[in-house]
Amino acid sequence: MKKFFENIKFINGLIILILTINFSVVVFSSYRNKSATYDEAVDLSIGYIYWRTGNFQINPEHLTFWKLFVSAPLLLLKLNIPDKLNEYQYEIGNKFLYSNKISADKILLIGRATNAIGAIILGFFIFKWSYLLWGYFGAFLSLIFYMFCPNISAWAGLISTDFGLTVFVFLSVFAFWAYLNKPSTTKLFLTGILFGLAQASKVSAILLYLLFLYFGIFWTYYKKENTSFKIIKSVFKIFIIGFGVLALTYMFFGLPNYFIGVKAILTTMKEGRNIFINGKYYQFGVWYYYLFAFLIKTPISLLLLISFSIWQGFSLKKDMNIKLNIIFLVTIPIIWIIVNSLSKTQLGLRYILPIYPFIFVFIGITLKNFNSKTKYIIPLLIVWIVINNIKVYPNYLTFFNEFAGGPKNGYKYLVGPDLDIGQDLKGLAKFLKPDEELILSYYGNAKPEYYGLKPQYLCIVSEAHNENYLNSIHPKRRLFAISASIMQMLNLRVNNSNKTDFQWLKKYNPIKIIGNTIFVYDITNDINAYEHIAEIYLSVKLLNIAEREYQRILLLDPTNEKALLGISLFYAENNLYEKAIMNCKKVLFKNPNSYEAYNVLGQIYNLENKLQEAIKYLKKSIVINPNQAEVHFNLALIYMKLENYDFAKKENAIAQSLEPSNK
């Protein structure tokens, strides 16, 4: 049976064609209804600007080639370029995408389709390499797992330099392997070109310099051939050709911007970024981040197949050629994970996406020796990964395996690029009804107005300018939509304050979860929700919006203590001290033991520069409730004004003991 199928090339070709068409349709359709993700507008617009102007000074940290590749078809449309190219790159991206002669959806669709072409090319060469190593059955297994892996489906349909890097790291290593097996001048030049395109795709491709040297030395050692000098010489020729290709992508004169980009990325790697992992926050990353992400975002069927492949590899270790090929395939995944784990900047599984093609080729080894055990196990694993793919469609980026409880629970473990990069704004717009008003906490750079949304923003994480709209005082129905990344407080630590915390939402059940990333709550006439929202606005100094929220509360409950005190602070900030004090006294008349009212009175008198009065009321607040870090801190500031440094130091120490984040 095996020989029969191996000899019928037509059937093999037909199967490959069907798989490719299915893959293309799935990827293409899954992102038609997704809004622009965090970096897509930048990558697409800057690539187009490179083509049209040759100005490589914009966005140098994201290298040239993949941006040039995905934007090339747009040249046929003669799109407009923003007038001011010295603006922030995200402003340039948004103007290009949302203010052009054709719609943003069409521009995105073209860029994403071009990105998907790279995915099809990558799939073909995964099949090719696996076939050369393990035969047709192994190659089909590699291709099936590649095309149904949700992580590949996720990034194949998005404009991403990480995917471009994945394509060319694999192609360059495959070409180098082919050259080492049978050296020729043509293969040498092809390897050099692909190596150069990898270098021009993303800075992390620098790793290939060391890996190619290692592969060259390792190959000659195990082959026991006296050709080590020749191989090393060839490796340096590849480097030279590759550097020439890299320079060509910058049209040579723009090459200094490459080194500027490399420096910027290396600096970022040292500085670090906030990450959320399994309910905890880390400012400078954590060593196990990528291992953790790999284990819960990779389909379990693939993890099992990797285990079987390792076992199969050990059983075939006496075959020196197989041993050599296995080491060639597993070295890059191991090194890539280790190096990225050492970085303080850890921004999602996408940073280790280049390991997956090598894994897909490697798992083909399980069908090297077709036997009764694999005959029953492999089909089950194939069915499993296909089911995973179907169930998460079209929300591939949000895939988490059964270890994490599936895609709906992914936000509990990882956010940001592992789940939520702003892709579901279009879905939110479709869900919202015309008479519903919206408060939006959005993580992303897509333009809400383009999708018909006019939200009142609350703690957005966006690189682009957004027009804010205020909800009416008497909304018919009011919804609060929040991105998972913001709900988990990613990149949203405001003055180390827990007042911007969204943990209060745990008491609420969302009426809808859009694409596993945007949680929608009905907060119509919900005083508790309004209080929390107003407090957040107050903590980030958006006093006028906070005041409107408090006014809404007072319409529902005219004696609400938090609303009266919140409006008092608004009045005080606007020099309306008498009105502010009157509100506080209303609260104290109803509740003489309101330590919050005494605290606010202290702040009002401080703003009025009546410092002794301020101290008197703050101390009254402490007598009622001594465990208020904020009040002790406010006292410390007043004592500093009075140059009473001993008292200031004492109050500050108490504040820090009560709330260490105030340090």
**589-631 per-position pLDDT tens digit:** 999 999 999 999 999 999 999 999 999 999 999 999 999 999 9
Q: Report d(CA 186, CA 171) in Å as an integer.
A: 15
Side by side, the strands of the sheet bearing 512-514 are: 456-457, 436-441, 477-483, 518-522, 512-514
Domain match, 540 and 577 both? no
CA distance 368 to 136: 9
Exposure of 593 by Cβ count < 10 A (0-12 exposed, 13-18 middle, 19+ buried)? exposed
Q: Is the pLDDT of residue 358 over 90?
A: yes
Lowest mean pLDDT across 92-96, 319-323, 564-568:
319-323
As a whole number of angstroms, the distance between CA 280 and CA 275 comes to 8
Q: pLDDT class for 92, splitting at 50, 70, 90? A: very high
- On whether residue 24 sits in a domain, the answer given is yes
Mean pLDDT of all residues in 617-646: 93
Q: Which residue has the higher pLDDT, 67 or 31?
A: 67
Alpha-carbon distances of 402 from 18, 299, 384, 442, rounded to whole Å = 29, 8, 11, 27
- Domain range for 78: 2-392
User: How does the average pLDDT of the chain come out, rounded?
Assistant: 90
| 573 and 532 fall within a common domain | no
- How many CA within 13 A on the CB side of residue 602? 24
Residue 409 lies in a domain: no
Residue with tokens 């395939």: 329
Task: Please give the pLDDT value at position 230.
Answer: 85
Which DSSP letter does residue 81 get? -
Residue 407 lies in a domain: no
User: From residue 255, how far is each of 16, 51, 244 by CA, in Å?
Assistant: 40, 15, 10
Please check the confidence at residue 499 and state whether its pLDDT lies above 70. no
The distance from CA 608 to its chain's CA centroid, rounded to whole angstroms, is 45
| pLDDT band at 4; cut points 50, 70, 90 | very low
Residue 226 has a pLDDT of: 62
Quick one: pLDDT at residue 581?
94
Same domain, 456 and 537: yes
- Give the mean model confidence (pLDDT) for residues 114-122: 95
Range with the poorest average pLDDT among 105-109, 250-254, 370-374: 370-374
Range scoring the smallest mean pLDDT among 429-433, 498-502, 541-545: 498-502
The residue from 525, 541, 558 where one domain ends is 558
pLDDT above 50: residue 85:
yes
Per-residue pLDDT, averaged over 101-126, amounts to 95
d(CA 612, CA 617): 9
Number of H helices and E strands in the chain, helices first, is 28, 7
Distance CA(179)–CA(237), nearest Å, equals 13
State whether 568 and 548 are in the same domain.
Answer: no
Q: On the CB side of 509, how many CA atoms lie within 13 Å of its CA? A: 1
Tell me what pLDDT residue 1 has: 45
Q: How far is CA 464 from the centre of its chain?
A: 16
- Return the C-alpha torsion angle 378, 383, 386, 392, nearest 10: -120
Same domain? 588 vs 541:
no
DSSP string, 589-647: HH-TT-HHHHHHHHHHHHHTT-HHHHHHHHHHHHHH-S--HHHHHHHHHHHHHTT-HHH
Residue 475 sits in the same domain as residue 582:
no
Shared-domain flag, residues 239 and 329: yes
Last residue of a domain, one of 558, 580, 606: 558
Same domain? For 176 and 99 the reply is yes
Do 576 and 554 fall within a single domain?
A: no
In a domain, 26, yes or no: yes
Instruction: Answer whether residue 289 is part of any domain.
Output: yes
Query: Do residues 217 and 357 both lie within one domain?
Result: yes
pLDDT at 317: 65
Q: Which residue has the higher pLDDT, 305 or 462?
A: 305
Beta carbons of 521 and 529 less than 8 angstroms apart: yes
| Of the candidate ranges 198-207, 209-218, 384-393, 486-495, the one whose mean pLDDT is the lowest | 486-495
Domain membership flag for residue 397? no
Rg (the chain; Cα; Å): 29
Mean pLDDT lowest for which of 32-36, 228-232, 428-432, 488-492? 488-492
pLDDT one-digit tens code per residue, 132-142: 999 988 999 99
- Report the pLDDT value the prediction gives residue 282, as an integer from 0 to 100: 86
Average pLDDT over residues 519-537: 94
3-class SS letters over 57-75: CCCCCCCCHHHHHHHHHHH
Beta-carbon contacts of residue 279 (< 8 Å; ≥ 6 apart): 412, 413
Residue 396 confidence class, pLDDT cut points 50, 70, 90: very high
Give the residue-averaged pLDDT of 468-494: 83
Say which residue, 355 or 472, is predicted with more confidence: 355
Q: How many domains does the chain have?
A: 3
pLDDT of 20 higher than 90: no
- Is there a single domain that holds both residue 30 and residue 45? yes
Question: Stretch 533-544: mean pLDDT, rounded?
Answer: 88
Q: How confident is the model at residue 149 (pLDDT cuts 50, 70, 90)?
A: very high
Q: Tell me, what's the pLDDT at 490?
A: 60
* Same domain membership, residue 355 and residue 271: yes
Residues 455, 469: contact at Cβ < 8 Å? yes
Tell me, yes or no, whether 295 lies in a domain.
yes
Token reading at 488: 């988990």
Task: Give the pLDDT of residue 497.
Answer: 45
pLDDT > 70: what percent of the chain? Answer: 94
Question: pLDDT tens digits, residue range 241-300?
Answer: 999 999 999 999 999 999 998 998 888 888 878 889 998 888 888 999 999 999 999 999
- Give the residue-averaged pLDDT of 502-521: 95
Predicted confidence at residue 493, as pLDDT, reads: 45
Boundary (domain end) residue, out of 369, 392, 415: 392
Mean pLDDT, rounded, for 566-580: 91
Q: Classify residue 590: in a domain, yes or no.
A: yes
